[in-house]
Amino acid sequence: MTTQISAPSPTLSLSLALIALFATTLRAQQPPSTYTLGPDDQIIVRALDLEEIKDQLVRIDINGNINLPLVGRVHAAGLTVEQLERQLVKLLKAYLQDPTVTVAVNEFRSQPVSVLGAVNKPGVHQLQSRKTLFEVLSLAEGLRNDAGNTIKITRRKEWGALPLSTAKDDPTGQFSVADVNVKSAMEGRSPQENILIMPHDVISVPRAELVYVIGSVRRSGGFVLNEREAISVLQALSLAEGLERTAAPQNARILRPAPDPSKRTEIPVDVKKILAGKSNDVPLQANDILFVPNSAAKSLALRSLEAALQMGTGVVIYRR
């Protein structure tokens, strides 16, 4: 006697294909398998061939329970996604011989993300839904004027590697680390770098490298160096909109950081000769201070200005 096995109906095949696609889509950027559900998590439940539980959006209540058609109240807090799926399969066997259930997390109850460095509101921010990198930076009230052009993101490996071309493992192998170029991403040249942020990500915004121009110039302040950019004395003076009429450019000084952080090395620079083409332009380094005195300035004024800069008072930072 030959047993004939009928092929699955087209409708069943299509349903299986759809639920497989549903599961694949929802599990993208899902929590690690060790993540336990808790109150205020929002989950999506789908049971194949049960219209009553089709893309059911449910929030776990304060007691850790969910309410679903057919099965009623189910305790979900403390379970992983896989454990909850198995629990629902058992309960639905009263209605289907072999239930197929998919559970995915739509919103996490707590997504702490640390935003550090040159932002207006650094600290730990709790996310209530999925957020991209720049949405999280908006929660931190944006970048400061002295922010650098590169953002560093650190992610726990349990959430997978960062989806960025610069991603690499840290020496411990427990974290994925990557850099994002702020300028290219914000200008829309690299929109793929505006990635989804996961719980416990650390976003670090380093302070930019600056050069300062102070004294008898039209626009004193600190000027942000663009990535891999060098700057000279004449370029710095251009950013400072030139000299005041009372300036003494022949007595200008470059104040350069010394090994002792409380001191600076003074380098005389004759800006008058540079402007006249009688002397070569002088390159500046990050954190250099170009001081152009007034013709009546005294050495005490120079020291006072340097001390004010070291205390961080009255310095305006400009981005270009």
DSSP for residue 250: G
- Mean pLDDT (the chain, rounded): 83
Least confident of 46-50, 166-170, 188-192, 300-304: 300-304
157, pLDDT greater than 50: yes
Residues 146 and 206: beta-carbon distance below 8 Å: no
With bands split at pLDDT 50, 70 and 90, how would you rate the model's confidence at 30?
A: low
Structure tokens at 23: 């599961």
200, pLDDT greater than 50: yes
For residue 130, report the phi and psi dihedrals to the nearest 5 degrees: -65, 135
Rg (CA), the chain: 31
280, pLDDT greater than 60: yes
CA distance 132 to 308: 39
How large is the greatest C-alpha to C-alpha distance in the chain, in angstroms? Answer: 115
The stretch 228-245 carries a mean pLDDT of 88
CA distance 73 to 248: 82
Q: How many residues are there in the chain?
A: 320
With bands split at pLDDT 50, 70 and 90, how would you rate the model's confidence at 29?
A: low
- Domain 210-318 CATH (choose: 2.40.30.20, 3.10.560.10, 3.90.1150.10, 3.30.470.20): 3.10.560.10
CA atoms within 13 A on the CB side of 182: 23
278, pLDDT greater than 70: yes
262, pLDDT greater than 50: yes
Sheet containing 210-215: which strands, arranged edge to edge?
A: 264-269, 252-257, 289-292, 210-215, 221-224, 317-318
Place of tokens 């694949």: 24
Q: What is the pLDDT of residue 2?
A: 43
Quick check: pTM over 0.85? no
The stretch 269-276 carries a mean pLDDT of 93
Least confident of 128-132, 215-219, 285-289: 128-132
pLDDT higher for 171 or 1? 171
Q: What is the pLDDT of residue 49?
A: 85
Q: Considering only CA atoms, which of 53, 86, 49, 47 is closest in space to residue 67?
A: 53
Q: What is the pLDDT of residue 308?
A: 56
With bands split at pLDDT 50, 70 and 90, how would you rate the model's confidence at 28?
A: very low
Q: What percent of the chain has pLDDT over 70?
A: 81
The stretch 165-193 carries a mean pLDDT of 87
Q: Name 75's Cβ contacts closer than 8 Å, sequence gap at least 6.
A: 64, 65
Q: Considering only CA atoms, which of 226, 235, 231, 230 is closest in space to residue 147?
A: 226
Residues of the chain within CATH 3.10.560.10 domain(s) are: 111-205, 210-318
With bands split at pLDDT 50, 70 and 90, how would you rate the model's confidence at 240?
A: very high
Q: Classify 111-205 by CATH class.
A: alpha beta
Residues of the chain within CATH 3.30.1950.10 domain(s) are: 12-107
In the chain, alpha helices (H): 10-27, 81-92, 133-139, 182-186, 233-239, 271-275, 299-310
Structure tokens at 293: 């005195």
Q: Give the homologous superfamily in CATH for domain 12-107.
A: wza like domain (3.30.1950.10)
CA distance 19 to 26: 10
318, pLDDT greater than 80: no
Q: Which range has the top average pLDDT, 2-6, 60-64, 129-133, 225-229? A: 60-64
CA distance 158 to 175: 8
